[in-house]
A = this chain, B = another copy of it.
Amino acid sequence: MEMNTKRFLVRPGDTVSLADHDPAETGGLTKKEAKEALTQLRLELNELQELLYASEEHALLIVLQGMDTSGKDGVIKHVITAFNPQGCQVTGFKVPTSEELAHDFLWRVHRAVPRRGMVGIFNRSHYEDVVVVRVEGLAAEKVWRKRYGMINDFERLLAGNNVVIRKFFLHISKEEQRDRLQDRLKNKRDHWKFRVGDLKARARWDDYMAAYEEALSRCSLEEAPWYIIPADKKWYRNLVISQILAETLRSLDMKWPALEPGAEGIQII
Protein backbone atom coordinates (compact mmCIF):
# COMPACT_ATOMS: atom_id res chain seq x y z
CA MET A 1 0.00 0.00 0.00
CA GLU A 2 2.24 2.73 -1.23
CA MET A 3 0.98 6.24 -1.83
CA ASN A 4 2.24 8.52 -4.53
CA THR A 5 4.54 10.93 -2.74
CA LYS A 6 5.14 13.12 -5.78
CA ARG A 7 2.26 15.39 -4.88
CA PHE A 8 4.07 16.53 -1.73
CA LEU A 9 7.13 17.50 -3.76
CA VAL A 10 7.90 21.12 -4.58
CA ARG A 11 9.08 20.96 -8.17
CA PRO A 12 11.98 23.25 -9.02
CA GLY A 13 10.47 26.43 -10.40
CA ASP A 14 7.12 26.00 -8.65
CA THR A 15 5.75 28.99 -6.82
CA VAL A 16 4.39 27.68 -3.56
CA SER A 17 1.15 28.91 -2.05
CA LEU A 18 0.68 27.18 1.27
CA ALA A 19 -3.03 27.98 1.23
CA ASP A 20 -3.32 25.42 -1.58
CA HIS A 21 -1.99 22.65 0.67
CA ASP A 22 -4.37 21.13 3.18
CA PRO A 23 -2.51 20.54 6.45
CA ALA A 24 -5.23 18.13 7.61
CA GLU A 25 -5.01 15.84 4.59
CA THR A 26 -4.87 12.11 5.26
CA GLY A 27 -4.88 10.67 1.75
CA GLY A 28 -8.05 8.74 2.52
CA LEU A 29 -6.22 6.56 5.04
CA THR A 30 -7.38 5.67 8.50
CA LYS A 31 -5.08 6.03 11.48
CA LYS A 32 -5.01 2.26 11.86
CA GLU A 33 -3.97 1.69 8.24
CA ALA A 34 -1.29 4.35 8.51
CA LYS A 35 0.12 2.88 11.71
CA GLU A 36 0.35 -0.58 10.18
CA ALA A 37 2.07 0.79 7.12
CA LEU A 38 4.48 2.74 9.32
CA THR A 39 5.42 -0.39 11.27
CA GLN A 40 6.38 -2.08 8.00
CA LEU A 41 8.27 0.94 6.72
CA ARG A 42 10.23 1.25 9.94
CA LEU A 43 11.57 -2.27 9.49
CA GLU A 44 12.57 -1.48 5.95
CA LEU A 45 14.14 1.83 6.95
CA ASN A 46 16.20 0.06 9.59
CA GLU A 47 17.47 -2.39 7.01
CA LEU A 48 18.21 0.30 4.42
CA GLN A 49 20.05 2.43 6.95
CA GLU A 50 22.30 -0.44 7.92
CA LEU A 51 23.10 -0.86 4.26
CA LEU A 52 23.84 2.87 3.94
CA TYR A 53 26.14 2.58 6.95
CA ALA A 54 27.91 -0.54 5.75
CA SER A 55 28.40 0.61 2.16
CA GLU A 56 29.67 4.08 3.17
CA GLU A 57 29.05 5.60 -0.23
CA HIS A 58 26.32 8.11 0.54
CA ALA A 59 25.22 10.27 3.41
CA LEU A 60 21.56 11.12 3.94
CA LEU A 61 20.68 14.58 5.19
CA ILE A 62 17.15 15.13 6.44
CA VAL A 63 16.08 18.73 7.04
CA LEU A 64 13.06 19.33 9.28
CA GLN A 65 11.44 22.74 9.30
CA GLY A 66 8.11 24.03 10.52
CA MET A 67 6.43 26.26 13.06
CA ASP A 68 6.58 25.43 16.77
CA THR A 69 4.62 22.25 17.56
CA SER A 70 4.56 21.27 13.88
CA GLY A 71 6.14 17.95 14.83
CA LYS A 72 9.87 18.16 14.19
CA ASP A 73 10.56 16.38 17.48
CA GLY A 74 7.72 13.99 16.80
CA VAL A 75 9.20 12.91 13.48
CA ILE A 76 12.47 12.19 15.24
CA LYS A 77 10.66 10.20 17.90
CA HIS A 78 8.47 8.18 15.57
CA VAL A 79 10.41 7.92 12.32
CA ILE A 80 14.10 8.48 13.02
CA THR A 81 14.01 5.90 15.84
CA ALA A 82 13.77 3.33 13.05
CA PHE A 83 17.46 3.95 12.47
CA ASN A 84 20.36 2.65 14.53
CA PRO A 85 21.60 5.54 16.70
CA GLN A 86 25.16 4.65 15.76
CA GLY A 87 24.46 5.69 12.19
CA CYS A 88 22.50 8.78 13.04
CA GLN A 89 23.22 12.27 14.26
CA VAL A 90 20.58 14.80 15.15
CA THR A 91 21.61 18.45 15.18
CA GLY A 92 19.35 21.10 16.61
CA PHE A 93 20.13 24.60 15.44
CA LYS A 94 19.37 27.13 18.12
CA VAL A 95 20.17 30.82 18.40
CA PRO A 96 23.73 31.05 17.04
CA THR A 97 26.56 31.37 19.56
CA SER A 98 28.93 34.31 19.33
CA GLU A 99 31.51 32.08 17.64
CA GLU A 100 28.96 30.96 15.06
CA LEU A 101 27.89 34.53 14.44
CA ALA A 102 31.49 35.47 13.74
CA HIS A 103 31.38 33.14 10.71
CA ASP A 104 29.17 33.02 7.63
CA PHE A 105 25.72 31.57 8.28
CA LEU A 106 26.53 28.21 6.65
CA TRP A 107 29.69 27.56 8.67
CA ARG A 108 27.99 25.83 11.58
CA VAL A 109 25.72 24.00 9.19
CA HIS A 110 28.56 22.61 7.12
CA ARG A 111 30.24 21.25 10.24
CA ALA A 112 27.10 19.28 11.05
CA VAL A 113 26.78 17.60 7.63
CA PRO A 114 26.85 13.82 8.04
CA ARG A 115 29.81 11.94 6.66
CA ARG A 116 29.33 9.10 4.18
CA GLY A 117 27.48 6.20 5.73
CA MET A 118 25.61 8.39 8.18
CA VAL A 119 22.14 9.88 8.42
CA GLY A 120 22.09 13.48 9.61
CA ILE A 121 18.92 15.08 10.85
CA PHE A 122 18.67 18.84 11.09
CA ASN A 123 16.03 19.93 13.58
CA ARG A 124 15.75 23.44 12.17
CA SER A 125 18.53 24.41 9.82
CA HIS A 126 20.05 27.10 7.63
CA TYR A 127 16.50 27.85 6.49
CA GLU A 128 16.00 29.75 9.73
CA ASP A 129 18.43 32.23 8.20
CA VAL A 130 15.86 33.15 5.57
CA VAL A 131 12.79 32.64 7.76
CA VAL A 132 13.11 33.74 11.38
CA VAL A 133 15.89 36.15 10.45
CA ARG A 134 13.62 37.74 7.85
CA VAL A 135 10.43 37.85 9.89
CA GLU A 136 12.04 39.08 13.08
CA GLY A 137 14.23 41.55 11.22
CA LEU A 138 17.48 40.05 12.54
CA ALA A 139 19.32 41.02 9.36
CA ALA A 140 18.75 43.55 6.62
CA GLU A 141 16.80 42.38 3.57
CA LYS A 142 19.84 42.76 1.33
CA VAL A 143 21.63 40.31 3.64
CA TRP A 144 19.03 37.55 3.82
CA ARG A 145 17.90 37.93 0.22
CA LYS A 146 21.33 36.88 -1.06
CA ARG A 147 21.09 33.71 0.98
CA TYR A 148 18.70 31.78 -1.26
CA GLY A 149 21.38 31.52 -3.92
CA MET A 150 24.06 30.73 -1.36
CA ILE A 151 21.92 27.95 0.09
CA ASN A 152 21.33 26.49 -3.36
CA ASP A 153 25.04 26.54 -4.15
CA PHE A 154 25.82 24.94 -0.79
CA GLU A 155 23.29 22.18 -1.21
CA ARG A 156 24.54 21.50 -4.75
CA LEU A 157 28.04 21.16 -3.34
CA LEU A 158 26.80 18.56 -0.86
CA ALA A 159 24.65 16.71 -3.37
CA GLY A 160 27.59 16.63 -5.79
CA ASN A 161 29.58 14.90 -3.07
CA ASN A 162 27.20 12.05 -2.26
CA VAL A 163 25.09 13.77 0.37
CA VAL A 164 21.51 12.91 -0.45
CA ILE A 165 19.27 15.72 0.80
CA ARG A 166 15.55 15.61 1.59
CA LYS A 167 13.83 18.61 3.13
CA PHE A 168 10.48 18.46 4.89
CA PHE A 169 8.28 21.41 5.70
CA LEU A 170 5.83 20.26 8.36
CA HIS A 171 2.68 22.10 7.45
CA ILE A 172 0.21 22.58 10.30
CA SER A 173 -2.77 24.87 10.57
CA LYS A 174 -2.84 27.77 12.97
CA GLU A 175 -5.76 26.11 14.79
CA GLU A 176 -3.82 22.90 15.27
CA GLN A 177 -0.93 24.87 16.70
CA ARG A 178 -3.29 26.57 19.14
CA ASP A 179 -4.50 23.21 20.42
CA ARG A 180 -0.99 21.82 20.74
CA LEU A 181 0.32 24.86 22.59
CA GLN A 182 -2.67 24.77 24.90
CA ASP A 183 -1.95 21.11 25.61
CA ARG A 184 1.60 21.95 26.59
CA LEU A 185 0.23 24.42 29.11
CA LYS A 186 -2.24 21.87 30.42
CA ASN A 187 0.02 18.83 30.82
CA LYS A 188 2.61 19.14 33.60
CA ARG A 189 4.77 16.62 31.75
CA ASP A 190 5.00 19.00 28.76
CA HIS A 191 5.54 22.26 30.60
CA TRP A 192 9.22 22.27 29.71
CA LYS A 193 8.33 22.45 26.03
CA PHE A 194 6.38 25.68 26.42
CA ARG A 195 8.13 28.97 25.87
CA VAL A 196 6.24 32.25 26.20
CA GLY A 197 8.47 33.55 23.42
CA ASP A 198 6.91 31.05 20.99
CA LEU A 199 3.74 33.14 21.03
CA LYS A 200 5.63 35.94 19.29
CA ALA A 201 6.13 33.76 16.23
CA ARG A 202 2.51 32.66 16.36
CA ALA A 203 1.42 36.31 16.33
CA ARG A 204 3.29 36.75 13.05
CA TRP A 205 1.94 33.55 11.49
CA ASP A 206 1.20 35.07 8.07
CA ASP A 207 4.66 36.60 7.83
CA TYR A 208 6.19 33.23 8.61
CA MET A 209 4.05 31.55 5.96
CA ALA A 210 5.19 34.13 3.41
CA ALA A 211 8.83 33.59 4.37
CA TYR A 212 8.41 29.82 4.08
CA GLU A 213 6.66 30.14 0.74
CA GLU A 214 9.60 32.05 -0.67
CA ALA A 215 12.17 29.64 0.76
CA LEU A 216 10.27 26.62 -0.54
CA SER A 217 9.85 28.23 -3.95
CA ARG A 218 13.43 29.37 -4.36
CA CYS A 219 15.31 26.48 -2.78
CA SER A 220 13.72 23.28 -4.01
CA LEU A 221 16.35 21.70 -6.23
CA GLU A 222 16.21 18.54 -8.25
CA GLU A 223 19.05 17.26 -6.07
CA ALA A 224 17.76 18.71 -2.79
CA PRO A 225 13.98 18.88 -2.96
CA TRP A 226 11.49 20.28 -0.50
CA TYR A 227 8.39 18.36 0.44
CA ILE A 228 5.33 19.97 1.99
CA ILE A 229 4.05 17.47 4.54
CA PRO A 230 0.46 17.65 5.82
CA ALA A 231 1.15 17.65 9.55
CA ASP A 232 -2.11 18.20 11.40
CA LYS A 233 -2.44 14.43 11.74
CA LYS A 234 0.72 13.13 13.29
CA TRP A 235 0.23 9.58 12.02
CA TYR A 236 -0.12 10.76 8.44
CA ARG A 237 2.90 13.04 8.74
CA ASN A 238 5.01 10.14 10.02
CA LEU A 239 3.84 7.83 7.27
CA VAL A 240 4.46 10.26 4.42
CA ILE A 241 7.97 11.10 5.61
CA SER A 242 8.82 7.45 6.19
CA GLN A 243 7.72 6.55 2.73
CA ILE A 244 9.71 9.33 1.10
CA LEU A 245 12.79 8.26 3.05
CA ALA A 246 12.32 4.64 2.08
CA GLU A 247 11.93 5.58 -1.59
CA THR A 248 15.03 7.73 -1.37
CA LEU A 249 17.18 5.02 0.17
CA ARG A 250 15.88 2.32 -2.16
CA SER A 251 16.79 4.46 -5.16
CA LEU A 252 20.47 4.57 -4.18
CA ASP A 253 21.13 1.06 -5.45
CA MET A 254 23.45 0.23 -2.58
CA LYS A 255 25.27 -3.06 -2.18
CA TRP A 256 26.56 -4.95 0.84
CA PRO A 257 30.35 -4.71 0.71
CA ALA A 258 32.22 -7.82 -0.34
CA LEU A 259 34.56 -9.71 1.92
CA GLU A 260 37.96 -8.12 2.33
CA PRO A 261 40.45 -9.64 -0.15
CA GLY A 262 42.41 -12.39 1.55
CA ALA A 263 39.65 -13.29 3.99
CA GLU A 264 38.05 -16.01 1.87
CA GLY A 265 38.16 -19.44 3.39
CA ILE A 266 39.77 -18.36 6.65
CA GLN A 267 39.18 -20.77 9.52
CA ILE A 268 39.20 -18.98 12.84
CA ILE A 269 41.30 -20.84 15.39
A residues lining the B interface (CB < 8 Å): 54-55, 73, 76-77, 80-81, 83-86, 88-90, 92, 121, 123, 178, 181-182, 185, 188-189, 191-196, 199, 202, 256-260, 262-263, 266-269
Contact = CB atoms under 8 A, between A and B. Distances in A.
Q: How many copies does the complex hold?
A: 2
24 contacts: A54-B192, A73-B86, A76-B86, A77-B84, A77-B86, A80-B85, A81-B81, A81-B85, A85-B88, A85-B90, A85-B121, A178-B268, A181-B268, A182-B268, A185-B259, A185-B263, A188-B256, A191-B259, A191-B260, A194-B260, A196-B260, A196-B263, A199-B266, A202-B268
Contacts of A192: 54-55, 256-257
A63 to B, nearest CB: 15
A269 B185 contact: no
A256 B190 CA distance: 8
B86 A89 contact: no
A14 B26 CA distance: 61
Contacts of A76: 84-86
Given A256-B191, A260-B196, A185 B81 contact: no
Contacts of A86: 73, 76-77, 80, 90, 92, 123
